[in-house]
Amino acid sequence: MKHPILWIHGEALGPSNPALVAYPGRPAVFVFDTALLEGATPAQSLSLKRIGFLYECLLELPVTLRRGDVAEQVLAFAGAHGADGIVTSAATDPRFKAICRQLEPHLPLQVLEPEPFVVLEPEPNLGRFSRYWRQAERAVWAQWATAPGPR
């Protein structure tokens, strides 16, 4: 991709967003998802506090703000900028995958992974936190051992 646009979503509203890092200066868009805000099941409509918090985070990023259907708005933004693709960052919310499936038939989509908290192989057993943590704690603290800083 030579001229992508960046799709910023609510799980990565900081400068470490890997799409912003990989393509600095490219046009970026965030869409307030009308269906979600108004209470798409099973969640409930969001209070103004939550919208205001997101909005203040977004004002500190170089990003155009839209509202409506996310896929429609992102594609319209890509069209307006003559983009040859869309770059975004991975998200956990299942809604993210559904939106990606709507985008992919129209333009190439690149999904970048943010830096993980800890890399675990094999995949941990998530039955209870204690099982996960037995494996994860060691791996997290191994990073401390190599991190720069005072000891």
Partner 1 sequence: MATPPRSGVPLAWPEQPGDLPRQFTSRDSLERELKQLFPQAEGGLSPIEGGRRRAEELLTRIQPQRYGKGRNFLDGPVTRLSPYIRHGVLTLAEVRDAVFRRTRERQSSEKLINELGWRDYWQRLWRQLGDGIWHDQEALKTGHASNSYASDLPDDIATGSTGLACMDGFIAELHSSGWLHNHARMWLASYLVHWRRLRWQVGARWFLQHLLDGDPASNNLSWQWVASSFSHKPYIFNRSNLERYSGGRFCSACCLRDRGCPFEASYEDLDSRLFQR
For residue 121, what are the CA distances in angstroms to 126, 130, 131, 135? 13, 17, 14, 9
**Residue 85 binds partner 1 (CB under 8 A):** no
Smallest distance, partner 1 to C-beta of residue 54, A: 7
Smallest distance, partner 1 to C-beta of residue 59, A: 4
Q: Could you say which residues in the range 131-150 bind partner 1, by CB under 8 A?
A: 132-133, 136-137, 140-141, 143-144, 147, 149-150
* Alpha helix ranges (H) inside the chain: 18-22, 34-37, 48-59, 70-80, 94-103, 129-146
The Cα–Cα gap between 6 and 26 comes to: 7
Binding residues vs partner 1 (CB under 8 A): 10-17, 25, 27, 32, 37-38, 42-67, 77, 80-81, 89, 92-94, 114-118, 124, 126, 129, 132-133, 136-137, 140-141, 143-144, 147, 149-151
